């Protein structure tokens, strides 16, 4: 009896310990160290609020910050808007066999790293790229146009790289939507837009918020896409952190920026949940 | 009487399969019309064409004389109560009922007043604020009907709405639905595979099989004067005797059962082919136990009692005609007159010739074993 109980305990520890170690060593400990760094002076190690004050005193920092937040919200919104009809089509309109194939088509690009996918866009869009070549050859453009390195291209790239994380949860909830609800609304005189507004979107709210949180965090914290496709004029806040830590070797300033970004993402998600009257527990489910 | 709904020669095919084949019928304003048929007979397809969800391959549908060809479901003066009710779980009861009015652009206190009136009519005056998940099965039922009635449709379609309820509640809802219909006076078109539901509630019943109507009539007509073998078997309980026909010297049609019993029929039927198989139908309650001798136009059959099924007013005897392996059902009136009958007794049963019907054997599948 005793032996048996000890057995169970060991088994439990065996699986539990790696989780605890992983959480503690890789997440809690580095964050504590970064938190300490963010409140200390670079060389002396004394307590200071300078790192945070620098953010508010230097417009380039907080402007980048606001820009990043604003664009992240826009990207999340665009992804939501696109994913709704896409999910509806995959989940409700096409036959089951085709919907599986379409799901795979959505998934396949994500087997390739983000870097490769972004380079793919660059090959298409750059001045000497395929699209320019095509448009010039059919006479639409007189000479090649630089389509990379602006905000619109960057947003498009961000939408593209984060699409999957919205489509998958939305298809999940869309599958649960009883078709007869749509028919009942139609039967009771609802137009197509009214059906979307009153039945489909409210039903998909949890999936949208779920996907919205993931997409928002991904976009806010993304580095590659804004850096490569946005060029020099489209600064992203993650680049500021990178610059502080890698270029200026100012870990303290970088840590402070990191925590500001964390605070920002938490705040916006909290507001999003409040606005949509969703419960984090429900959404995570 | 005006025709609220008129369906003319409507046909619908899915690939090679003809789901609804040349169906025509009229429903008079304010009537309760049922379409009765086994699962897979095409009744849901027919209903969905009337509602506008399917486009018929040919034929026309008219509401109050207006052709509905090419009119979308949200523009038709008809509403459908779905089999699973399809109440909107994201809205409360009040919002569910007001849904149709809001889509029509109605606003303000008028909507609230109508919703309240309708909630009272269906007997749930206090439940406007409730969520759909808080309602019981019977309450959901009533809300689903209220949600359609508020639109004041020309025709209300009901797609087996009682199917999901338990037996007791179903009995209760049958009566309630009938009363509700006569109160509001809306034309109801009700589809069901349950012949009891159709008979209790309807003014007219259409019996559907394999995509076409076998017979349209009042419940009494269907029960007493079935026009086909299918109707005789599907509507109400019936005993089926496998017989072969021949004519006697005076030209009467004689049905021979089990190669030994001859029954003279009231109908005159084609007797040229003596090997052709016919079915003779007798209702259990038309059978008289130990009828005695000396009755005119009467069929007598000696049987063994296999078992007595006591069920109050619905008690029955199971009997086996001598010389056969078949089993017949006989109504056993609880007048204490037949208390002497015991299992394994040999008795005589008989019935009036005019209470039988005889049809050529037709093969069809009865899917109705849900």
The residue of chain B with its CA nearest to that of A182 is B86
> Does residue A191 belong to the interface with chain B, where contact is any CB pair within 8 Å?
yes
Contacts of A178 in chain B (CB under 8 A): 84, 86
B104–A187 C-beta distance less than 8 A = no
Identify which has the larger pLDDT, A205 or B270: A205
Cα–Cα distance, B174 to B198 (Å, whole number): 9
A194 inside domain: yes
B68 CB within 8 Å of a chain A CB: no
- State how far the alpha carbon of B242 is from the alpha carbons of A282, B218, B362, in Å: 63, 28, 12
- Does residue A14 belong to any structural domain of this protein? no
Facing residue for A187 by CB, picked from B74, B84, B91: B74
CB contact under 8 A, A190 and B151: no
**Is there a contact between A188 and B74 if contact means CB atoms under 8 Å apart?**
yes
A187, A194, A199 member nearest B88 (Cβ): A199
Q: Is residue A16 part of a domain?
A: no
Backbone angles phi, psi at A119, to 5 degrees: -60, -35
Residues of B in contact with A203 (CB under 8 A): 90
Written as six digits, the tokens of A146 are 């630089």
B73, B91, B148 member nearest A186 (Cβ): B73
Task: Please name the residues between 89 and 118 in chain B that touch chain A, using a CB distance below 8 Å.
Answer: 90-91, 99-100, 103-104
Q: What is the dihedral of CA B291, B295, B301, B304, to 10 degrees?
A: 10
Helix axes A59-88, A201-220, angle to 10 degrees: 140
Closest partner CB to B151 (pick from A181, A186, A188): A188
Minimal Cα distance from B89: which residue of A? Answer: A203
pLDDT of residue B368: 43
Q: How far apart are CA B296 and CA B301, in angstroms?
A: 15
Mean residue pLDDT of chain A comes to 87
Q: CA-to-CA distance for A212 and A172, rounded, in angstroms?
A: 14
Identity of the highest mean pLDDT range in A133-147, A223-237, B110-124:
B110-124
* ipTM here: 0.81
Residues 6+ apart with CB under 8 A from B358: B243, B245, B253, B255, B265, B267, B269, B278, B279, B280, B281
CATH number for the domain that contains residue A152: 1.10.3720.10
B14: contact with A, CB 8 A cutoff: no
Number of domains in chain A: 1
List chain A residues with CB under 8 Å of B147.
Answer: 188
Which of B52, B90, B99 lies at the smallest CB-CB distance from A188? B99
Q: Is A269 contained in some domain? A: yes
Record: contact B79-A188, CB cut-off 8 A: yes
B contacts of A194 (beta carbons < 8 Å):
103
Contact B88 A188 (CB under 8 A): no
pLDDT of amino acid A1: 47
Q: Is B19 helix (H, G, I), strand (E, B) or coil?
A: strand
**Residue A219 in contact with residue A51, Cβ under 8 Å?**
no
**Does residue A125 carry a pLDDT above 90?**
no
Asked whether the beta carbons of residue B99 and residue A181 sit closer than 8 angstroms, the reply is: no
pLDDT at A285: 59
Cross-chain CB nearest to B51 (options A187, A189, A203): A187
Instruction: Judge whether A15 lies within some domain.
Output: no
Instruction: Determine the distance in angstroms separating the CA of A182 from the nearest CA of chain B, rounded to an integer.
Output: 9
Phi, psi of B36, rounded to the nearest 5 degrees = -110, 130
* Tokens 């009682």 found at: B162
Give backbone dihedrals phi and psi of B50, rounded to 5 degrees, phi first.
Answer: -65, -40
Rounded to a whole number of angstroms, the distance from the CA of A71 to the nearest CA of chain B is 31
CB contacts, 8 Å: B74 with chain A: 186-191
Can you tell me whether residue A121 is helix, strand or coil?
Answer: helix
Q: Give the number of beta-carbon pairs within 8 Å between A and B.
A: 60
Which residue in the set A183, A189, A198 is minimally distant from B53, CB to CB?
A183
Task: Quickly state the pLDDT bin for A226 (edges 50, 70, 90).
Answer: confident
pLDDT score of B55: 92
Rounded Cα–Cα distance for residues A107 and B4 (Å): 53
Torsion of CA A30, A35, A36, A37, to 10 degrees: 90
Does A183 contact B103 at a Cβ distance shorter than 8 Å? no
Interatomic CA distance for residues A209 and A83, integer angstroms: 12
Q: State both tokens at B178.
A: 């009938």
CA distance A15 to B119: 57
Q: Do B104 and A189 touch (CB under 8 A)?
A: yes
Q: Do A188 and B75 touch (CB under 8 A)?
A: no
B52/B69 Cα distance (integer angstroms): 9
**Residues of chain A above pLDDT 90, percent:** 29
Q: Which of A135-149, A170-184, B35-49 has the lowest mean pLDDT?
A: A135-149
Chain B nearest C-alpha distance from A175 (Å): 15
- Cβ neighbors of A209 (< 8 A, separation 6 or more) are A272, A273, A276, A278, A283
Q: Is A185 on the interface with B (CB under 8 A)?
A: yes
- The pLDDT value recorded for residue B207 is 93
Q: The whole model's pTM is what?
A: 0.79
Place of tokens 């409140």: A39
Q: Report chain B residues whose CB lies below 8 A from the CB of A190.
A: 74, 99, 103
Whether residue A189 and residue B100 make contact (CB cut-off 8 A), yes or no, is yes
Query: Is B90 within 8 Å of A190 when comparing Cβ atoms?
Result: no
Q: What pairs with residue B319 in β-bridges?
A: B305, B328
How close B147 gets to chain A, by Cα (Å)? 8
Q: Which stretches in chain B have pLDDT values below 50?
A: 367-370
Predicted pLDDT of residue B8: 93
Domain, as residue range, for A273:
51-284
Domains of chain B (ranges, CATH numbers): 3-234 (3.40.50.300), 239-360 (2.40.50.140)
A212 is a domain residue: yes
Residue A156 covered by a domain = yes
Residue range A21-54, pLDDT digits in tens: 988 998 899 889 888 888 888 777 788 888 888 8
d(CA B4, CA B220): 23
């Amino acid at each position: 009896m005793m032996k048996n109980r000890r057995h169970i305990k060991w088994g439990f520890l065996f699986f539990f310990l790696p989780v605890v170690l992983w959480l503690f060593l890789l997440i809690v400990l580095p964050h504590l160290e970064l938190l300490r760094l963010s409140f200390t002076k670079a060389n002396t190690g004394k307590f200071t609020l300078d790192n945070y004050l620098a953010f508010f005193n230097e417009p380039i920092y907080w402007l980048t910050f606001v820009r990043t937040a604003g664009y992240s919200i826009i990207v999340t919104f665009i992804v939501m808007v696109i994913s709704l009809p896409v999910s509806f089509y995959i989940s409700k309109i096409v036959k089951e066999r085709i919907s599986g194939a379409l799901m795979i088509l959505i998934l396949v690009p994500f087997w390739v790293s983000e870097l490769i996918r972004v380079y793919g866009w660059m090959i298409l869009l750059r001045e000497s790229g395929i699209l320019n070549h095509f448009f010039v050859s059919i006479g639409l453009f007189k000479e090649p146009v630089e389509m990379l390195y602006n905000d619109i291209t960057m947003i498009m790239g961000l939408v593209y790289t984060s699409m999957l994380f919205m489509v998958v949860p939305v298809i999940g909830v869309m599958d649960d939507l009883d078709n007869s609800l749509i028919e009942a609304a139609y039967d009771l005189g609802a137009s197509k837009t009214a059906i979307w507004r009153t039945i489909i979107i409210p039903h998909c709210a949890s999936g949208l918020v779920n996907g919205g949180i993931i997409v928002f965090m991904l976009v806010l914290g993304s580095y590659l896409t804004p850096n490569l496709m946005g060029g020099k004029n489209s600064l992203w806040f993650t680049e500021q952190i990178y610059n502080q830590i890698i270029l200026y070797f100012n870990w303290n300033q970088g840590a402070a920026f990191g925590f500001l970004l964390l605070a920002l993402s938490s705040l916006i998600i909290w507001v999003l949940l409040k606005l949509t009257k969703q419960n984090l527990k429900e959404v995570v489910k | 009487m005006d025709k609220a709904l008129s369906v003319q020669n409507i046909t619908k095919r899915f690939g090679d399969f003809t789901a609804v084949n040349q169906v025509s019928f009229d429903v008079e304003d304010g009537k309760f019309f049922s379409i009765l048929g086994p699962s897979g007979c095409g009744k849901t397809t027919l209903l969905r064409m009337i509602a506008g969800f399917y486009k018929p391959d040919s034929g026309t549908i008219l509401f109050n004389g207006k052709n509905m060809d090419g009119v979308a479901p949200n523009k038709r003066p008809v509403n459908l109560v779905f089999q699973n009710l399809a109440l909107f779980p994201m809205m409360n009861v009040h919002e569910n009922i007001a849904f149709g009015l809001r889509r029509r652009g109605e606003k303000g206190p008028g909507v609230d007043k109508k919703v309240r009136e309708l909630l009272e009519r269906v007997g749930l005056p206090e439940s406007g604020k409730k969520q759909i998940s808080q309602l019981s099965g019977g309450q959901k039922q009533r809300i689903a009907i209220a949600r359609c009635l508020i639109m004041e449709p020309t025709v209300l379609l009901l797609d087996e709405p009682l199917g999901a309820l338990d037996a007791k509640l179903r009995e209760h809802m049958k009566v309630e639905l009938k009363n509700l219909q006569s109160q509001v006076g809306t034309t109801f078109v009700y589809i069901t595979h349950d012949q009891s539901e159709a008979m209790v509630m309807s003014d007219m019943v259409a019996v559907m099989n394999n995509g076409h109507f076998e017979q349209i009539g009042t419940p009494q007509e269907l029960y007493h004067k079935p026009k086909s073998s299918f109707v005789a078997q599907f509507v109400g309980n019936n005993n089926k005797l496998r017989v072969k026909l021949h004519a006697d010297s005076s030209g009467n049609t004689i049905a021979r059962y089990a190669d030994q019993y001859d029954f003279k029929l009231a109908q005159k039927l084609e007797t040229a082919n003596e090997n052709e198989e016919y079915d003779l139908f007798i209702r259990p309650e038309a059978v008289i136990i130990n009828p005695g001798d000396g009755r005119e136009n009467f069929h007598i059959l000696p049987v063994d009692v296999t078992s007595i099924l006591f069920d109050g007013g619905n008690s029955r005897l199971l009997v086996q005609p001598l010389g056969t392996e078949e089993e017949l059902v006989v109504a056993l009136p609880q007048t204490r007159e037949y208390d002497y009958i015991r299992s394994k007794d040999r008795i005589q049963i008989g019935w009036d010739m005019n209470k039988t019907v005889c049809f050529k054997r037709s093969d069809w599948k009865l899917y109705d074993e849900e």
